[in-house]
Amino acid sequence: MATTLNFPGNPRIRTQLERALEAEQVTGSYLFEGASGAGQEGAAVELAARLITGSSDPAHPEAGRVLRYSHPDLIYVMPITPSKTPAAMGDEDWLADFREMQGRRGRDPLATITFKANPRISVKGLRAIRGELSKMPYEGRARVLIVRDADRMDIDAQDALLKTLEEPPRGTVVILISYRPDALSDTILSRCRRLPFDPLEDAVLVDALVSRGLGRERAEFFAGLSGGDLEAAVRLESSESEEGNALLQRREEWLDFIDLCEFGDEVAMIEAVQEFSRKYGKQPGEKLLPTQLRAEFMSLALSWYRDLLGLAAFGGLRVHRDQDSRRARYAELTPEQLVDRIQRFEKARSQILRFANIQLTLLSLYLGLRAAGART
């Protein structure tokens, strides 16, 4: 039977998994890590379909159920806010909450899910899942557990999962997904086959957005802003409304902030960073968690500096074509200085995804630029 996998992007990882399937040497536990929104979840669900049903073809009836998150041998876990107080939650309550979330992912795997409080994966929830994994497959050839944002397991939950990784039930494969694997214990990391995903190409993001009904020109614009992050691109798409796009409106504010940090005096820059840090804590009614918002800002800054580098090298803006008056202020920056900014923001974005302090991160970034004489 063909072992072709079809998830977009990351052909190297796709080839590795196809070879493992062909040789029947699939590892019992994987960690899909790397760039945020790089298609890890889609790849995990597609691999699960192949393991459970022997096919990853959406037209295959049983594989289609896995791809829609509705097959009983697919167990999907992600951080949640429990429906009751943690003390009142029994195993069936945890399983019901996880199944409800699994159903929501099946309706739209790329939709942004919001919570009333900070979501996490608790040890009681993991123990309930371990009980499910001890059972034989209901219908398929195997059972697959996917743990999304596995780094949000508390330490006790990680210890509970470790027992499963050390002694996996027969016919069970565990796939962890994490954009900040350094938050996982060394022991868990040592038990998993680690596959780092690279950011998706813009063409992949454009195709995904067009398939969701967005016009191609708008899709190309959002793809360029997203830095290879499909989930960020979809958040931009979902922010479209008759009143405008909230994230694009935020873009103007953020570009103004970058201008001030670049061209303002040191006192003004420090004050702007402090205000930015206060504002992008959790706000009432805000749909995104602070870390998501801050990562969105970092992606925006990267797309801006990459645009300026493209302008310096090739004579044209790729994404921010509506910012001619703004970009004129940056004409004095050399390609080397722009590359330096891109590298610094890539490092800062990685730190933010690991929950680094936003104020200290930005101050270190811009004070470092000034100390290096990056505008001379």
Return phi, psi of residue 283, to 5°.
-110, 145
Q: What is the pLDDT of residues 168-177, one digit of tens each?
A: 888 999 999 9
Q: How far is CA 354 from CA 18, 91, 159, 181, 364, in A?
A: 31, 30, 20, 9, 16
Q: What is the pLDDT of residues 223-278, one digit of tens each?
A: 888 878 898 888 888 876 656 677 777 888 999 999 999 998 999 999 999 998 88
| Options 1.10.3470, 2.20.70, 2.60.40, 1.20.272; CATH of 240-371 | 1.20.272
Domain residue ranges of the chain, discontinuous segments joined by +: 11-197, 200-238, 240-371
How far is it, in rounded angstroms, from Cα 73 to Cα 48?
A: 9
How much is the pTM? 0.79
Per-residue b or e along 28-60, where b marks 16 or more CB atoms closer than 10 Å to that residue's CB: bbbbbbbbbbbbbbbbbbbbbbbbbbbbbbeee
The pLDDT-based confidence of 376 (bands split at 50, 70, 90) is very low
CATH top-level class of 11-197: alpha beta
Share of the chain above pLDDT 90, in %: 48
Whether 115 and 58 have beta carbons less than 8 Å apart is answered as: no
pLDDT at residue 241 in the model: 65
